[in-house]
Amino acid sequence: MPRSNRAPGKRPHSRKSGRVGKIMSLALDIEEPLNDAADFVCALRLIGQGIMLDDKGEGRAIAAAAWSASHRLEDLRAVWTKMLEAARRTR
C-alpha cells in the first residue's frame, strides 16, 4: 500500500495568497462605487444648503439627510481602508 508524504492526521497547509488576492480584488472593486456614493452625497448636501440659502425649509431635511449619509460613508471608508491594510499585511 503506498504511503503519503505527510504524517497521519495532519492536514495540508492552505494557501493564503489566493484568499488574500481575492479579498484585495473585491476591496478594489468596491473603491469606485464608494467614491461615487461619496460624491453623490456631497452634491446632495450642497443642493440642500443652496435651497436653505433661499430661506426655504425644504433644504434643511435634504442637508440633514446628506450629512448623516456622509458620516455613514466615512465609517464605511474607514472599514474599507482597514480591510485593504490587513490584506496588504498578509501578502
H runs (alpha helix) in the chain: 16-53, 58-89
- Write down the domain spans for the chain: 33-89
Residue 55: Cβ within 10 Å count: 7
How far, in Å, CA of 17 to CA of 13, rounded? 12
User: pTM of the prediction?
Assistant: 0.62
pLDDT band for 39, please (50, 70, 90 cuts). very high
Q: How high is the pLDDT of residue 16?
A: 57
pLDDT tens, position by position, 42-89: 999 888 888 888 876 778 888 889 889 999 999 998 988 888 888 778
Rounded to whole angstroms, how far apart are CA atoms 18 and 81? Answer: 20
| Secondary structure letter of residue 8 according to DSSP | T
Q: Which pLDDT tens digit goes with each residue over 15-38? A: 556 776 777 787 788 888 888 999
